[in-house]
Amino acid sequence: MTIFTWYGHATHGLETDGYKILVDPFFSGNPVASTALEEVAADFILITHGHDDHLGDTISIANRTGALVISNFEICEWLANRVPLTHGQHLGGGFKHPFGYLKLTLALHGSALPDGSYGGNPAGFLLTTNLGKKIYLAGDTGLFGDMQLIGEEGLDLAVIPIGDNYTMGPDDALRAVKLLNSKTVIPIHFGTWDLIDQDPAAWAARVEKETTTKVVVLKPGETYNL
Ligand code: NI
Ligand code: MN
């Protein structure tokens, strides 16, 4: 079984085959974080892009837990003397990690690091777990037509932003669901601040009326098993 946890905003966790994977760990300064920074466990940390609300507490968690940080090459170079272990990949490239096969996917966004350093291109992740589940973590992105190619992989779960302003809003996220054709979708990157406030139940109703994808709306701290 794979357990997905939403910690609020774009911070989420996957527990699969005994491994704890933390994605975009933004806890300190996150007004909706469901868990205290000191309590978070991780064997691996995945970073989609360099922005503060995604890189977040990576450095402190990686140093406390010894987790391997996986991101694009540029972010891994920037982190190399700040955390114990990194593994750089890049768009379109996959690698067989202990928890499954992880590929970096396109994302339409920015990726500057907190000190203004170049953070390479932003990414999403496509994970094939050791148990054969396909999970797409979109990261921060606008809608793009090649989501259809990701959908052709046969997705069990897609985790996508719906907040608008910085990423896809509800209308484009609905179009994304049609391209991704995932069995299940979980919306994130909304409700953190007024600027990205959305009604996830209303969005879920639209998606389920117009597609065959099931929407799972979580509250920060809630989990979904797949
Ligand atoms: Ni961002
Ligand atoms: Mn963001």
pLDDT band at residue 154 under the 50/70/90 scheme: very high
Residues ≥6 apart with Cβ < 8 Å to 83: 58, 59, 62, 63, 69
Distances (CA, A) of 219 to 17, 181, 192, 209: 24, 23, 11, 22
Nearest ligand, measured from the Cα of 161: 2
Structure tokens at 44: 């691996």
CA pair distance 138, 68, nearest whole angstrom: 20
**Which ligand is nearest the CA of 190, by number?**
2
The C-alpha atoms of residue 181 and residue 13 are separated, in whole angstroms, by: 22
Q: 62 C-alpha vs ligand 2 centroid, how far in Å?
A: 20
Q: Which ligand is nearest to the CA of 123?
A: 1
Distance 189 CA to ligand 2 centre (A): 7
Q: How does pLDDT run across 183-215, given as a tens digit for each residue?
A: 999 999 999 999 999 999 999 999 999 999 999
Residue spans per domain, the chain: 2-219
> Over the stretch 116-128, which tens digit does the pLDDT of each residue have?
999 999 999 999 9
**Confidence band (pLDDT; 50, 70, 90) for 94?**
very high
How large is the angle between the packed helices 200-210 and 170-180, nearest 10 degrees?
40
**CA-angle at 224, arms to 220 and 226, nearest 5°:** 155
- What's the CA-to-centroid distance between 160 and ligand 2, angstroms? 11
111 CA to centre of ligand 1 in angstroms:
7
What would the mean pLDDT of 94-101 be, rounded to a whole number? 98
Please, which pLDDT band fits residue 175 given cuts at 50, 70 and 90? very high
CA proximity to 187, closest of 172, 173, 197: 173
Over range 66-72, report the average pLDDT.
Answer: 98
Residue 54 Cα to ligand 2 middle (Å): 6
210 CB neighbour count, 10 Å cutoff: 12
Q: What is the pLDDT of residue 142?
A: 98
Q: How far is the CA of 3 from the centre of ligand 1 (A)?
A: 25
**pLDDT, average across residues 164-190:** 98
pLDDT value of position 132: 97
- 166 Cα: distance to centroid of ligand 2 (angstroms): 7
Distance, CA 150 to ligand 1 centroid (Å)? 21
Distances in Å between the alpha carbon of 32 and those of 15, 118, 137, 169? Answer: 21, 28, 20, 19
Arithmetic mean of pLDDT, 45-63: 98
What's the mean pLDDT when you consider all of the chain?
A: 98
Question: What's the confidence (pLDDT) of residue 26?
Answer: 98
Q: Within 10 A of 158 (CB to CB), how many other CB atoms are there?
A: 27
For ligand 2, a single-atom ion, the residues with CB < 5 A are 53, 140
Written as six digits, the tokens of 65 are 């837990």
Smallest CA-to-CA distance from 86 within 106, 67, 105 is with: 67
Six-digit token pair at 51?
Answer: 């922005």
Residue 146 three-state SS: coil
| CATH homologous superfamily, domain 2-219 | Ribonuclease Z/Hydroxyacylglutathione hydrolase-like (3.60.15.10)
What whole-number percentage of the chain has pLDDT above 90? 100
